[in-house]
Amino acid sequence: MSKYRMLAIDLDDTLLNSQFKISPRNKEYIRRAREAGVHVTLATGRMYCSALPYARELDINLPLITYQGALVKEAGSGETLIHRPVPLELARQVIRQVKPLGYHINVYVDDNLYVEKITPEAEMYQRISGITARPVGDLLTFLKEPPTKVLIVGGVQELDALGQEMRRQFGRTLHITKSKPHFLEFSHPEATKGHALDTLARRWGLTPDQVIAIGDAPNDLEMIAYAGLGVVMDNARTEIKEKADYVTRSNDEDGVAEVIGKFILGD
């Protein structure tokens, strides 16, 4: 029997293929892993309401790691286990600094997505996430409570440079990462997939060496480092693959199924 008792899987560019679908093979292997007694959950930067339909498709009723780990919530009961929002004044500082630069900004409160206005970036985000954005005008005027996270949409190189600058200013007080090349995200300093994975493993009496984590992006690095087996997709950037214990096939080649077959089922 495999020593691995927990499997955390990222969604975009990992479990989901290029059409944002779960392939029949990945679905079958996740079912077989669950039947073998493995705790299988999703670990995503997406909103809980955006991740939940995929959990239901997979019959997962366990806590889901969403918003990079800022919100961990049961897929079955809807019970919130963890919510670590961005402190309100820090969120306002980020918005105040980024807004004059012309970037599109998302803020998330109570699992709803709010934007200043519907821009091409907002429309693109809606297509990817399946969530409808709510335009509210000036975000600084609107925001009255700590948001679960703040997300900036922009060009890849521009956001890389912005991320470096913002880490110099906020690196000790915020977790700043990328979930996709065009998305720069700001969250609570302990709102990482690694922190959330540790909380769930402890809840189930497991140690890191019993955990597999699969991802592809910078926001997956903490859980890849935490897990006894940190797996990165072949479609990931080279600097992410260099951090992996194992590199599996791409998200369009059922890389998740390969990991389950090799390390859990012993196929």
Task: Encode 166-187: b = buried (16+ Cβ within 10 Å), e = exposed.
Answer: beeebeeebbbbbbbebbbbbb
Q: How far apart are CA 130 and CA 49, in angstroms?
A: 9
228 token code pair: 């006894």
CB proximity list for 245: less than 8 A, separation 6 or greater? 224, 229, 230, 231
**Is there a catalytic annotation at residue 198?**
no
CB proximity list for 66: less than 8 A, separation 6 or greater? 42, 44, 45, 46, 47, 48, 50, 51, 72, 73
Q: How far apart are CA 254 and CA 36, in angstroms?
A: 19
Q: Which of 10, 12, 216, 254 is catalytic?
A: 10
DSSP category for residue 249 = -
> Which residues belong to the active site?
10
